[in-house]
Copies of this chain bind each other. A is one copy, B any other.
């Protein structure tokens, strides 16, 4: 697993040599079946997963309903980073929507790395900056675009996702009802 992990991590983080090896060595493999949870709301945890193969969703539970916040696929990290940083129980759920292989690291190992290796601190900053940008853009799209525009942009930018994800979850992610997404799709299909 470590070789595959190393190869994939190198692609997305500016790490090499000693720092990379030290980082990689802390990961442990974890395989989950479709519909199994990696993290559940209210659970204490500090784990961060890296997806080697598979697909997952992050969602909030509210009034018995699921509100999808995000999808994650190969070579992406999954965690409730907010709750880890604040040292509080998970605020959200992370569940597999396909059989999934993960490499899992504990946040305390990352904190240790921050102490040991000066490059780690910089990588931590760059990751956090990336997360900030991603979430700001997400908020921007909710502020400026309606559901149809969000759907069209998503299917332009990430057509695979549309295929890979059930439509009722995609609807939740776009913040409309499944019926509404179905009507949006029909409207687009007709032109």
Contact = CB atoms under 8 A, between A and B. Distances in A.
Interface of A: 60, 62, 67, 69, 81-82, 85-86, 91, 114, 118, 121-122, 124-125, 128-129, 131-133, 135-140, 142-144, 175
A82 B136 contact: yes
Contacts of A125: 121-122, 124-125, 128
A83 to B, nearest CB: 10
Give the copy number: 2
Contacts of A122: 114, 121, 125
Contact of A137 (B82, B124, B143): B82
Contacts of A60: 140, 143-144
Contact of A143 (B82, B85, B132, B175): B175
A85 B130 CA distance: 9
Contact of A139 (B62, B114, B121, B138): B138
A136 B143 CA distance: 14
A134 to B, nearest CB: 8
Contact of A121 (B62, B121, B140, B142): B121
B121 A69 contact: no
Contacts of A137: 82
A37 to B, nearest CB: 19
A81 B128 CA distance: 13
A61 to B, nearest CB: 10
Contacts of A121: 118, 121-122, 125
Given A62-B144, A135-B138, A142-B175, 7 more contacts: A60-B143, A69-B139, A91-B140, A114-B122, A122-B125, A125-B128, A132-B135
Nearest to A125: B125
A142 B142 CA distance: 8
A77 to B, nearest CB: 13
